[in-house]
Amino acid sequence: MLDLFVIPKALRGGKNMKTFIRRFRPWIRAGFYLWLAVSLIPAGAGAETLTLERALALARADNPALAEAGARIAQARAVRDESRAAFWPQLDVGLEYVRGDAPSAYLFKTIDARQLPEDVDFNNPGRFDNLETFLEARLNLFSGGRDKLRYEQAGVRLEQARSVHASVENDLSAAVIDTFLALLSARDRVAIARQSTAVLEREVELAEVRYAGGSLLRSDLLSLAVRLAEARSAQVRARGVEQRLQAALAVLLGRGAEAAFEPVGAAWDFSIPAAYSEALERALRQRPELAAAAQEREVTRLEEAVVRAEFLPRLDLQARLYHDDPDFAYDDDQINWTLGAQLRWNVFSGFATRARAARVSGQAQESRSAQRRLRQQVELEVRQAWLTLDEARANQTLAETAAAHAEQAFDQVRTQFSGGAVAVTRYLDAELTLQRSRVNVAAANRDRQRALAELARALGELGPSQGAQGAQSSSTERTSDGQNP
């Protein structure tokens, strides 16, 4: 498509060249604007206006990864409530019907029903029917502390699920901020490319007039036409990057990839620690991943205690209230009850308990190693984010200085080129340098903001109240055990 806006090789002769310029220039220009209107529709046309704060709120409300983590919290809470049931008595109500001719069963059922005949033949009592209604209760009095340990373990699992939720939210907020800022940077690139294209279009028009008057070489005019085509190609590429970032942001917000947004808003910022040592200390205290690793280690410690408790006996209290009658005609005299205690002690389980102890010991070693590895990873992330922010600040200062110099140089070269004092190649170099410097300034500014967001993520400070407004004071910072979602 871009080849349509470059003068065809077959028409690059003197008279043909002039004829082509005069006859087809309006059509080429109209065709280009029509194509641009169709394929380069502004991103904000009919799109939802989106601030960074709004984007973070949408992501926290609709992102499926965060919803997944929230569902795991609900599951962990249910497991904890289920483990609490071991401290309550267990009650069962039932109805039993029995028919048979077994002498022992006949004897017990009729005696419990207070209906044993005086002349019964114990060896051949005959067939009998019986209906029994019963209420059974069981209460554990001692289990070696296993129930208490499992309840504590379930509570730690719940806190771990909350820490994982906080970790997902921290990473999600960082991804939303980074993509949002990258989208703003892409829009800046599109605007800069559009501005560069407009400048070159005006220069080509002026060059055509000069060429027609014989004050400009044909090669110079062709060079400008090629540069114009390259500028339009850069505009198309910038627009493609913008559209891909739009799709990525839409998915992060829980929308369809085809959703369109109009990103607006000021620069993102947060309170930066005064020194690297302070940043590292805050990260080690606040990162939810470290809290989850510490909680996993606590879970394995409790599991080791549970396995040790399996070597101890178990004592249960049991009670039963029941009524037997073949005709379902209950009477208070036929009510029976039993109350007793049962002590059980497994003295040999085929070495299964010892094997479980070895397995849990291995899990404990794994959790300790994982905690150490994660701490080193957090330290590395904080260090890299700190250095990246320093680099981004320096690059922003250099880019702004270079852009100011490029602006001055281009103004001078354009004046000289208009007067025929410099060659077109010098003008093209100056224009290209100016365009690149503007792109570099926009990119350096967004890179600094993205580096800030990455540092905030590394510190674990992208919580619900911090993502769009920056970090809060140390009194309100998230502690290592996470927050309720």
Structure tokens at 48: 């939802």
Among 430, 428, 432, 382, smallest CA distance to 409 is for 430
User: Is pLDDT above 80 for 269?
Assistant: no
pLDDT top residue among 171 and 9: 171
Phi, psi of 339 (to 5 degrees): -145, 130
Which of 37-51, 84-98, 410-424 is the least confident region? 37-51
At 443, is the pLDDT very low, low, confident or very high (cuts 50, 70, 90)? confident
At 11, is the pLDDT very low, low, confident or very high (cuts 50, 70, 90)? very low
Q: Would you state the pLDDT for residue 24?
A: 54
Overall average pLDDT of the 349-372 stretch: 90
Give the 3-state secondary structure of residue 466. coil
Q: Would you state the pLDDT for residue 481?
A: 35
Q: pLDDT of 212-234, one tens digit each?
A: 888 778 887 888 888 888 888 98
Q: Would you state the pLDDT for residue 208?
A: 84
Structure tokens at 150: 């499992």
Report d(CA 189, CA 44) in Å as an integer. 15
DSSP letters, 350-385, are TTHHHHHHHHHHHHHHHHHHHHHHHHHHHHHHHHHH
Q: Would you state the pLDDT for residue 70?
A: 92
Report d(CA 235, CA 226) in Å as an integer. 14
- Answer whether 252's CB lies under 8 Å from 172's CB: yes
User: Is pLDDT above 70 for 185?
Assistant: yes
Q: What is the DSSP letter of 255?
A: S
Among 251, 231, 69, 100, smallest CA distance to 163 is for 69
- Domains in the chain, ordered, with CATH? 1-39 (no CATH), 42-80+148-301+359-476 (1.20.1600.10), 90-142+316-345 (2.20.200)
At 282, is the pLDDT very low, low, confident or very high (cuts 50, 70, 90)? very high
At 27, is the pLDDT very low, low, confident or very high (cuts 50, 70, 90)? low
User: Is pLDDT above 50 for 135?
Assistant: yes
Give the 3-state secondary structure of residue 316. strand
113: part of which helix (H) or strand (E)?
Answer: none
Give the 3-state secondary structure of residue 132. strand
Q: Would you state the pLDDT for residue 26?
A: 60
Please give the torsion angle defined by the CA atoms of residues 150, 152, 158 and 162, in that order, rounded to the nearest 10 degrees. Answer: -150
Q: Would you state the pLDDT for residue 316?
A: 94
Among 448, 391, 58, smallest CA distance to 267 is for 448
Overall average pLDDT of the 435-445 stretch: 84
Q: What is the DSSP letter of 347?
A: -
- Answer whether 154's CB lies under 8 Å from 83's CB: yes
Number of separate helices (H) and strands (E) present in the chain: 10, 6
Report d(CA 407, CA 431) in Å as an integer. 9
At 19, is the pLDDT very low, low, confident or very high (cuts 50, 70, 90)? low
Q: What angle do CA 356, 359, 363 make, to 5 degrees?
A: 135
Q: Would you state the pLDDT for residue 36?
A: 52
User: Is pLDDT above 60 for 33?
Assistant: no
Q: pLDDT of 63-120, one tens digit each?
A: 999 999 999 999 999 999 999 999 999 999 999 999 998 988 888 888 888 888 888 8
Distances (CA, A) of 473 to 56, 272, 404, 477: 20, 11, 38, 7
Q: Would you state the pLDDT for residue 7?
A: 46
Q: Would you state the pLDDT for residue 370?
A: 92
Q: Would you state the pLDDT for residue 270?
A: 77
Distances (CA, A) of 224 to 298, 423, 473: 70, 11, 56
- Answer whether 446's CB lies under 8 Å from 189's CB: no
Report d(CA 323, CA 337) in Å as an integer. 9
Helix axes 352-418, 424-459, angle to 10 degrees: 150
Q: What is the DSSP letter of 275?
A: S
Among 426, 370, 386, smallest CA distance to 220 is for 426
pLDDT top residue among 331 and 468: 331
pLDDT top residue among 192 and 10: 192
Overall average pLDDT of the 285-305 stretch: 93
Overall average pLDDT of the 133-155 stretch: 93
Q: pLDDT of 374-415, one tens digit each?
A: 999 999 999 999 999 999 999 999 999 999 999 999 899 888
Overall average pLDDT of the 39-68 stretch: 78
pLDDT top residue among 424 and 143: 143
Q: Would you state the pLDDT for residue 472?
A: 34
Average per-residue pLDDT in the chain?
Answer: 82
